[in-house]
Every structure is written in structure tokens, then in C-alpha cells.
Chains A and B, each alone.
Chain A
């Protein structure tokens, strides 16, 4: 069975390719998958009858007690036959319903087959949570199928409405299932039913599960989504919304009835809503002019009927319910398919416009009439057999108290409701058949293209079954007996049969037929009466009101909380910092705190400079001054690191600070020198107070928390581990590339993202273009071409492209001499970093600094000369190298990011101690170099170019 379900999903994935190759004929190939399933299910008949259905179990999530458990009982077998059999027929029907050039045909085919697979999984699985998964899969595919024409507003809305309603029920059901599983201690449905839990918790759980079942099967108050779903193509309506998916709720009730029909509230909920739905659906079906909508309301009515029968829980109702389930699937699918054919061949399905179709196509006429007769409950069809036995079993409940706990009065009420519902059924069946097929006086015959014979295959096969199975009552009773056998035997042994004798059930059938036909004959009066008593309040209106309320609430909440100002959000965050940690730190300040003034007096000196610089930064009104002063705090921090005993940090901080200062200056040349002049407002004092308060609270928190520390640092063992496992003596570097290498990997990814962001903000389209070497650019007019023969070498090639007044020969010479030295230093840092201060970050920054010197000395072409490579390529390579070195240990059976150590003795170089994490560090190095290069290209070269262009434009504008 698992293979069958999986085969559907595989076919669904192949479907688009098939459709692309074969067009609509692909549906015939796809139909083979459910057909094989159908034949396999038929092969299981003997085993199912003997109560020895197939069981398959695969562990899935053992920690949550979820198993892929599948079990074939009689109920599951019947549902699976319906799902696969009708699925195969409807897929074959699709081959004639659609045209090759219908938009979205490929995705439709995939969704349809995937739906069939989910539905099959739903009806054969034996685990509550797996059932839930399949349940929601059917919801999702139903959503996609209803909305298969996304260009139409109506179809989008119908899809969304069906999704919201059924998902709401599904979520309630999930909660119910979890509670039920908790109570019973198992999620296996068969085990759950064998030893059903009881008690108030179970009652709540069952009520929640029922919400799911009722929403899926479109019972009041959820019924409105089903008529809406008729926006879907007709094959979808026939399969999902008549034969299979809407039966999921019915299936669930039938499945749980043996264990839980006695639960408090079960009968009250299902019987009330079931009878109400049956009557409401029939009543509204009588008012429809769209044949599909008429059928949809008829389905709503029949679903109510089915739920009534299955929820009662006697041996007789169980067997009658199964017959009704099968009968309904056969005749309703047929009717939908026939309506689809009529619409396809005549172009309309409005019963006011159709006339003479029956005369044009006798086969359509016969199949529709037979299916309709089965729906109305006429002998000798399956629908009649089923309805007779339902009447009989309900009579047993009312007269003989077949179901203890259900009072005879309730039994009679249900019986009356069901008979009334049957009256309406007869009436709307007549309305449908007459409206669709009859030749009406005073109406031109509808133009009707004769249908291809194969188009009729599916409805004809289903009709044959409707007739044939009507005579196979005994065989059906025997095969389905294992399901009914779960209930205690009732007053009578019920068997499905055409003839039960001249008894009350037959009288009910006759009564329903007569009254129903009477309603049809007097349809004008009925219509007038319905119009007179129609009520304005509908469940759909309630749904709209609810959705609007939720939406309005969301708008109000968002409007209240999302003020749209960054400063306002920051204030909220900072005030929370003040209130929560601030308040708790004040209560914790009781004992004396162990403090020292400083570790070395130099800290105090540096700290004083930093504080003054920070205060002046806050006061500064010039951009450049603010940046420079912030730089002072940065260099001060580097000093603090050095004094603390953190040479790696000090080194990196100095390099980063220098780079950021240059980058700041590169951008600030474009911005106004002063910050925007703003009048001093009282808000400024508020911000000052907030800054003061936050600073103080954080100081206090640090004071209290460091004083409260009792445990040894986790890093106490790092010195030993760094050498033993990481193979390095620089512990900080080993932490970065080995112990906490995941952090580092995340960090370099962030750097790549940031650099990409910078590039896209500056280049807006692509950054690949624009790397040009000096020899392939024209010289500016002011520069005379200098020979580049031997002996005429220049210090740097790039500056020749600059105007003379921007060149500085001393700077060029310094850059020429400094560059190789910096690069060598960077490589030293990179390779030595594992044992001495340095590493990928520092080495990358030094290389970046070297590039920056070249750029500042020689302009943007000099940068391209120094690094004629795209920064994106550099960063991508770096990330790739780091990822490869992280994953490589897996190949050798190690863990991700594990390091290995290799000792090599090379001639000349001597003994070389290699650690594989160096490779990771090289990845980090490349990313950092790429980041700096990208900043220089974007904030440097790119802005240079923009300034030049603006100057040129201004000159052209000034010139006459």
C-alpha cells in the first residue's frame, strides 16, 4: 500500500513532463496509476472479507510516536476502491474534457494525481497524525485545484475560502487528535478503537475531531465552501467534491463510531447538524439554476445524510451507511461528469437555457436518468437498496432501541428528518434531469455538438455499476460484514437487498417519491413559497463578518503598534531594557561588590580619552569630526584590548578602524559637511536622559553580574584542547577556526550578504562590468602618452589616468614600496595565525589595506591593476573553500569542521606542521579581502565615476 501511495506522488512529479510531451492524452497514462491501485485493492477482497487485511508499518518519528502505519479493513478497502476507481475514470475523462492548449494543464495534472495519492493515503493509514498529514495534503491540493485558473477572481476567492474553512477545522482536529493520542497512549487508530478511552478529556477531544470532520464534509455551519468550490473544473468537482475528499469527514466519523459513538455530545452534534444540513442542502438545491450548483447543494444534503447514518453506530446503520457511501459516490460522480459533458458540448449549464439535450444524445440521457434515479432512490438501483436499508435501520433505532443511549424520540425525529430530506432529494433530482435534458416548450433546442464516444466512458462505467450493484446486495453485505461486525448485533440481521417485503421502509420510499414529484410538478408555487420565506442571514455572511472582524482587528493593532519610525521602536526597546533588567538589578544591589579600580593605570588614561571622545562625538555637528572622534574611541578600544592581553583583538581592531575611517571618508565626500540643521527641541533632553539611564543600567548590570559569578569559565580547558585537538597554540584562532567554527562560518556568510547589499545599493544592476586594465582605456586629454618601453618603467601604472593636479609622486613611490611588503605580511599573518597573533581576519584586512593604498595613490584604474578580479568571485570562492574544508572531514568519517594535523618534512623549508583548519582560515581570508575590495569598488571607484559624470554634465550644461 505504501508503494501505491508513493507511486501516485512519483506520477504527480512526472505529470507535467508527460503533459508537455503528450498533451491531454497524458491523462490516459496517468489514469493507469490509480487503475493499478484499484486492481490491487480488488485482489485484496478475500483477505478483507476474512478480516485479515494488509498491515504495513514503518517507523517515522519514534520520539513522537508517529509511524507510517497502514491497515486495510473493510471500510478502508471500500473507500480505497472508490478513491482509486473513480480517480482512474475521472483522469481518463480529463483527456477529453480539456484541450491541449488549456493554460495550466501541466500543473493541474500533477496536482490532480498528487491529490489522488493523498486521498488514498488518508483512507488506508492507521496512525492519527499521519492521517492528519494526508488530510491537510488533500486540503492543499484541493486549494490548488479549485484555484487552477488563477486568472479568475472568483476561482481564487473560492479556493481561499475553502482553504480557510477546512484548515480551521483541520487545526481543531489536530488538537483533538493529540489529546486523544495522549489519553490513549497510542496514535494507532486500530489500537485506539480496540481500547477507546473515556472521560471528559476524551469528550472534548472527540468534539474537536468532529469539528474537523464536519468542516471537511461541508456540514452546517461550514457548508458554504462546497458550492463555492464549484468554480473548479468539472472533473475536480466530480472527484474531489462529490466522490472522495468531502467523504473524508464521513470516513472519519465512520472510522471512529465503533469506539466513540457513545461519547457524550457525539449524537447530539452530528445528528442535529446532519439533519439540518440534509434539509438545508435539499431546500437550497431547489432554488439553483446552475446545474453544478444544484448538484453541489445536493451533495451538501447527501453528506448530511451520510453522517447521520454513520454516526448512529449500530450494525444495521453501519452496513446501510457503507452502501449509501458507495451509491452516492457512483451516482454523484456520474451526474457531475454528465453535466460536464453537456456544458462542454453545448457551452452552458444553466438549466433555463438548456433544451433538447436528451434528444440529441441518448447515451447522456440514459446515464443521467439512471444515476438520478439512484439518487432519488428508485428500484432496482444501488441508491434504492441503500436507502431502504437506512430506513430499516433507523426504524430499528426508533422502535426497538437498537442503539442504547439514543432515545426513541430522537430516533423518530431523525427518521422524519431523513424522510423529509428524501422528499427534497426526489424533487431536486427531477429538477436537475428535467432542466438539463428535457425538451422544453417555448425554448429553442440548445445547439449541441455530438460528443466523442470515449468521453462517455467514465459515466457509462459508473452507471453500469450503479445498476449492477443494485442486484449484488448480498455479496456487498458479506464483504462489508467485518466493518459492521464491530458493533453489537441489533434487533434484526440486516442484509442489503432489493426486496425486504411490504414493510414501512418501502412505504417511506414511496411517500418520498410521491411527495417529491408533487413538489416538482408544483415547482412554481414552491418557488414562490421559498422566495416568500427566504431568510437573509446565511452562514457565508457570518463567515464574511468573522473574516472582516479579524482583518479589522489586525489593521487596528498594526496601526497602533507599527508607528513606522525607527527611533520610536528603539525607544520602546530601550525603555524595556530600563524597566526589566534595570528594576531587577536595583533589587540585587544589596551586598558589597568586589571591585578594583583598574588592572593597570594605563587603562584609566585610555578610558578617559575614550570618554571625552565619545562625548564630543555626540556633540559634533560636522560629519567628518564625528567620524574622526568615533575613530578615537575605536583606537582606544584597541589599546584596551592590548592592555587586557588580547593581541589578536588589538590587531584586528586597529585594521578595521583604519579601513572604516577610509571608507567613511570616501562616502562623506558626497554628503554635506554638516548634519541637517534642526531646531533644538525638548526631545533632545529626553534622548540625553535615555542615553544616561541606559548607560548607567548596563554598568550596574555588569557590576552585579560579574560580582555574582561563581563558576569556572568554560574556556578553562581550552589551552589544553587547542593544542591537542586544534593543533594550534593561538587559542583565540583555534576557537575561531575549530572550536566555534560554526559561528565563524555564519559570520563570513553575513559578510558576503553585507557586501552584496553594498554592491547592489551602489551599482543597482550588475557589478561585473567595469574592471578595465590601464592599457585598454583612452588617456584623458590632459595626459601625454608616455612610452612604456624598457627603461621607461613607472612607479605605478594607474596614476597616469589621473589629472596631474591629483597626483602625488611621493605617495605613488610609497605605495609601490609598501604594497609587496603588506602582502608578504598578510601571508605571514595567515599562516602564522594558528600559533601566533594573526589569522584569516587580520590577514584579509592587511591585504585590504594594501589594496586601499594602491587605490588612494592611483585611483580606480590602479585598483583594477592591483586586483583585476571581481569581488563577488573572491567572496564566493572564499565561502566555497570554507564550506569544502568544513565538509571534507565527513569523507574521512569525521565530524563537520573537525581538524586533522599533518607533519611534513620538506627540503629547504624544513619541518612543516599543517593543520587542516588552515584551509578554513584561507576561506575566511578570501571573504574578508573580497569585502574590502567590494567596498573600494563601490564606495570608491563607483562614486568617483558618478562625480566625474556629474562634473561632465555640469560642464556641458554650462557650455552654450
Chain B
């Protein structure tokens, strides 16, 4: 199967730029990066489907002349999901702006507190529940 170089180069460029943007802190940039990357990846589906052809409408053309319909159905799903992602991340960016007056992706506070526990050589909060707080037998045996 011969491969379409134009599509490959375009898709690679879009994905590369997308990766660069996704590693940013600003949520808007991350979202734009995701969209650009997504466009590139949708192009990859076209490559996987093979050469270009006529629209896959039965009866309008011979099946051998059609483009592959299966990747198209997959991409159609991806496009609409991308709209849902856009809306959700935009809402998150807006909320983050409301709360922090910027839309930067923050580092996770819980993870930071676990790192502090690790640095202090301490056990987690759930540890007490599993083992019981007091020492053995203090309540029950002689000498208490």
C-alpha cells in the first residue's frame, strides 16, 4: 500500500506543535494544543484508511473506487467528542480564572502533602485505622 507523504508530514507537524503546546501551564494553551494535536491524529486515520477515493455512498460509485468508510466513522466520533472536551476544558479554564484569576494548571496539593509525609518519614492518615492507636494490652493487663 503506498503512503501519502503530504498527509504524513502535515499530521506530524500538527502533532509536534500540539505536544509543544500541551506541555504548557496555561489551560487555554493546553486546550488549543489538544485540538491541534487532535486534528493531526484525525489525519492519521485517513492515512490508515488508504488512498483517497469517492464518497462511500453505495450506489453512487463502485465499492472499489470508494474511500475506506470505517476510519471515517471513527473520526466522526472523535470530532464530536473533541467538541465536548473543548467545552469542558473551557469551563474549567473559566472556573480557574474565577477562583485564582489565572487559568494556569496548578500542581496537585494532595501529592505535595504526600511528598511532605515521605520526606518526614511518616505514615499516611489511613494507617491508624488499620492498626489501632494504642499500644498492646495497656487497657487490659496488669501494670496498666
Q: Cα distance A707–B5 when bound, in Å? A: 12
B29 and A675 form a contact (CB under 8 A): yes
Pair B36/A692 contact, Cβ less than 8 Å: no
| Chain B residues near A554 (CB-CB < 8 A) | 124
> In the complex, are the beta carbons of A750 and B81 less than 8 A apart?
yes
A771 within 8 A of B: no
The SS class assigned to the B binding surface is helix
Does A646 lie within 8 Å of B123, measured CB to CB?
Answer: no
Contacting pair A671 B21 (CB below 8 A): no
A506 to chain B, nearest CB (A): 35
Q: How far is the CA of A603 from the CA of B127 in the complex (A)?
A: 61
Q: What are 22 of the A-B contact pairs (CB < 8 Å)?
A: A224-B136, A530-B142, A544-B131, A563-B111, A564-B107, A564-B111, A566-B105, A596-B5, A598-B7, A614-B14, A617-B21, A640-B43, A656-B82, A688-B20, A691-B20, A698-B11, A713-B49, A731-B57, A747-B77, A754-B85, A757-B88, A931-B84
Within 8 A of A (CB), among B17-68: 17-26, 28-29, 32, 35-36, 39, 42-44, 46-60, 63, 66-68
Listed in ascending order, the chain B residues whose CB lies under 8 Å from chain A are: 1-26, 28-29, 32, 35-36, 39, 42-44, 46-60, 63, 66-70, 72-77, 79-88, 90-95, 97, 102-105, 107-112, 114-115, 117-119, 121-124, 126-133, 136-137, 140-143
- Contact check, A735 vs B69: say whether CB atoms are below 8 A apart: yes
Q: Is A667 an interface residue (CB 8 A)?
A: yes
Establish whether residues B83 and A729, one from each chain, have CB atoms under 8 Å apart when the complex forms: no
Does residue A259 face the partner (Cβ distance < 8 Å to B)? Answer: no
Identify A747's interface contact among B3, B80, B88, CB under 8 A: B80
Distance to closest chain A CB from B33 (angstroms): 8
* A723 and B57 alpha carbons, distance in the complex (Å): 10
On whether the beta carbons of A630 and B32 are closer than 8 Å, the reply is yes
Query: Contact between B44 and A698 (Cβ–Cβ < 8 Å)?
Result: yes
| Pairwise interchain contact A562-B108, C-beta atoms closer than 8 A | yes
A-side interface residues toward B, CB under 8 Å? 153-154, 156-158, 160-161, 164, 224, 227-228, 287-290, 293, 527, 530-531, 538, 540-541, 543-544, 547-548, 551-552, 554-556, 558-560, 562-567, 570-571, 574, 593-600, 603-604, 606-607, 610-611, 614-615, 617-618, 623, 626-627, 630, 633-634, 636-637, 640-641, 643-649, 652-653, 656, 659-660, 663-664, 667-668, 670-672, 675-676, 678, 687-688, 690-692, 694-696, 698-699, 702-703, 705-707, 709, 713-716, 718-720, 722-723, 729-732, 735-736, 740, 743-744, 747, 750-751, 754-755, 757-758, 761-762, 835-837, 841, 928, 931, 934-935, 938-939, 943
Residues of B within 8 A of A836 (CB): 57
Q: How far is B2's CA from A378's CA once the two chains are assembled, in angstroms?
A: 95
CB distance from B103 to the nearest CB of A (A): 6
B117 in contact with A559 (CB, 8 Å): yes
Docked-complex contact B131 and A548, CB < 8 angstroms = yes
A719 in contact with B66 (CB, 8 Å): yes
Contact pick for B2, options A538, A571, A595, A626, CB 8 Å = A595
Please pick, from A156, A627, A835, the residue contacting B57 in the complex, using a CB distance under 8 A.
A835
Cβ contact within 8 Å between B123 and A604: no
Give chain A residues whose Cβ lies under 8 Å from the Cβ of B69.
Answer: 715, 718-719, 731-732, 735
Q: Closest Cβ of chain B: how far from A877's Cβ, in Å?
A: 18
- A643 adjacent to B52 (CB under 8 Å): yes
- Which chain B residue has the least Cβ–Cβ distance from A609? B10
The answer on a CB contact under 8 Å between B73 and A732 is yes
User: Chain B contacts of A716 at CB under 8 A?
Assistant: 63
Given contacts A570-B23, A653-B79, contact A641 B32 (CB under 8 A): no
- Complex Cα gap A615–B91 (Å): 26
CA A715 to CA B67, docked complex, whole Å? 10
Given contacts A552-B122, A656-B82, 11 further A-B contacts (CB under 8 A): A551-B124, A551-B126, A559-B118, A594-B2, A594-B3, A637-B42, A676-B102, A695-B17, A699-B12, A703-B3, A731-B66
* Chain B residue with Cβ nearest A543: B131
Q: A607-B10, A671-B103, A761-B94 are in contact. Are A633 and B2 (CB under 8 A)?
A: no
A615-B13, A656-B82, A836-B57 given; A598·B5 CB < 8 A:
yes
Q: Are B67 and A610 in contact (CB under 8 A)?
A: no
Q: How far is the CA of A630 from the CA of B39 in the complex (A)?
A: 9
Choose from A289, A555, A751, A928 the contact partner of B124 (Cβ within 8 Å). A555
Known A554-B124, A596-B5: A722·B58 in contact at CB below 8 Å: yes
Q: Are B91 and A648 in contact (CB under 8 A)?
A: no
Q: Do B79 and A735 have beta carbons less than 8 Å apart? A: no
Kindly list chain A residues whose C-beta atoms are within 8 Å of the C-beta of B48: 702, 705-706
Beta-carbon contact of A293 and B73 below 8 Å? no
A637 to B86, CA, bound (A): 17
Q: Which residues of chain A are near B79, meaning CB under 8 Å? A: 649, 652-653, 656
Residue of B nearest to A224 (CB): B136
- Asked if residues A761 and B95 are in contact (CB atoms below 8 Å), the reply is yes
Interface of A is mostly: helix
The list of the 8 closest CB pairs from A to B, nearest first, reads A695-B16, A559-B118, A564-B111, A754-B84, A699-B12, A564-B108, A645-B67, A691-B20
B15 touches A731 (CB 8 A): no
- Least CB separation from A697: chain B residue: B12
Minimum CB–CB distance for A637 against chain B, Å? 4
A671 & B97 in contact (Cβ 8 Å cutoff): yes
Q: For the complex, what is the distance from the CA of A696 to the CA of B14, rounded to whole Å?
A: 11
Contacts of B50 in A (CB 8 A): 713
Instruction: Using known A-B contacts A603-B4, A603-B6, determine if residue A702 contacts B20 with beta carbons closer than 8 Å.
Output: no
Q: Which residues of A are found within 8 Å of B143, using beta-carbon distances?
A: 531
Q: In the bound complex, do residue B118 and residue A560 qualify as a contact, i.e. CB atoms below 8 Å apart? A: yes
Q: CA separation between A837 and B67, bound complex, in Å?
A: 14
| Closest chain B CB from A832 CB (angstroms) | 11
- Chain A contacts of B25 at CB under 8 A? 567, 676, 678
**Residue on B nearest A287 in the bound complex, by CB:** B141
The residue of chain B having its C-beta at the shortest distance from the C-beta of A602 within the complex is B6
Q: Which residue of A lies closest to B20 (CB)?
A: A691
Give the nearest-CB partner of B53 in chain A: A645
Give the docked Cα–Cα distance between A638 and B136 (Å). 71
A652, B13: Cβ atoms closer than 8 Å: no
Give the CA-CA distance A735 to B47 in the complex, in Å.
Answer: 19
Given the interface pairs A552-B121, A646-B67, the reply to whether A633 lies near B39 with Cβ below 8 Å is: yes
> Which of B26, B88, B95, B130 is close to A164, meaning CB atoms less than 8 Å apart?
B130
Query: What chain A residues lie within 8 Å of B103 (beta carbons)?
Result: 671
Task: Flag if A161 contacts B4 (CB, 8 Å).
Answer: no
* A931 and B32 contact, CB distance less than 8 A: no
Q: Is B77 touching A640 in the complex (CB atoms < 8 A)?
A: no
Taking the nearest CB of chain A, how far is it from the CB of B75, in angstroms?
6
Contact indicator B26/A676 (Cβ below 8 Å): yes
Query: A593 contacts which of B3, B15, B42, B130 (Cβ < 8 Å)?
Result: B3
Residue of A nearest to B141 (CB): A287
**Contact between A719 and B58, CB atoms less than 8 A apart:** yes
Which residues of A lie under 8 Å from residue B137 when comparing CB positions?
Answer: 538
Is there contact, CB below 8 Å, between A729 and B57?
A: yes
Checking B75, B94, B130 against A939 with a beta-carbon cut-off of 8 angstroms, the contacting residue is: B94
Among A227, A565, A699, A715, point to the contact of B8 (Cβ < 8 A): A699
**Complex CA–CA separation, A698 to B18 (angstroms):** 13
Residues of A within 8 A of B142 (CB): 287, 289, 527, 530-531
- Cα(A540)–Cα(B36), bound, Å: 58
Q: How close is A652's CB to chain B, nearest CB, in angstroms?
A: 5
Residues A692 and B11 in contact, CB atoms below 8 Å apart: no
Given A702-B47, A707-B1: A547 in contact with B58 (beta carbons within 8 A): no
CA distance A564 to B110 in the complex (A): 8
When C-beta atoms are compared, the residue in chain B nearest to A842 turns out to be B76
The answer to whether A614 and B36 touch (CB under 8 A), given A702-B47, A707-B1, is: yes
Cβ-defined contact, B141 with A559, below 8 A: no
Q: Is B105 a contact of A758 with CB atoms below 8 Å?
A: no
A648 pairs with B121, CB closer than 8 A = no
Asked whether, in the complex, the Cβ of B68 is within 8 Å of the Cβ of A841, the reply is no
Task: Give CA–CA (A722, B90) in the complex, Å.
Answer: 38
List residues of chain B with CB within 8 A of the CB of A559.
114-115, 117-119
